[in-house]
Amino acid sequence: MKRALLAAAALAVLAAGASSCSVGTNSQQGSAQIVVTRDFGKQRVLSATEDPIEGGETVMRMLMRNADVKTRYGGRFVNAIKGTGSRTSGTERLDWFYYVNGIEADVGAAERKVAGGDRI
């Protein structure tokens, strides 16, 4: 399947702290920055920083606190950010993707815990 970002997408989150805690437990030392772009990084859609990081923080929760996000598959995957949604254009499928330390994530944003030093 050809991967294209919906009018682009690169989520960038610098995250800090351990990721095995549950929501509402101790916060983590350090900060996390989330950056959402479109058109393969040409246009910045969102940039926000949080410090400290709540225990058990996920990419999805952090994104949803900072942007209008629509999800699919029971809230586990991003379908639209600030009105820019997944779609099909001709034979090409356009979706949102995110990367952890420069590598495409292998789980949905709701499952990916934010950890110290991550760039997502």
Residue 107 has pLDDT above 60, yes or no: yes
pLDDT of residue 26: 64
Asked if 50 contacts 61 with a C-beta cutoff of 8 angstroms, the reply is no
Q: Confidence band (pLDDT; 50, 70, 90) for 114?
A: confident
Domain extent, residue 11, equals 4-119
Domain count, the chain: 1
Asked if 13 contacts 6 with a C-beta cutoff of 8 angstroms, the reply is no
CA torsion through residues 102, 100, 27, 71, sign: positive
Burial (CB count <10 Å: 0-12, 13-18, 19+), residue 38: buried
Residue 32 has pLDDT above 80, yes or no: no
Average pLDDT score over residue span 2-25: 36
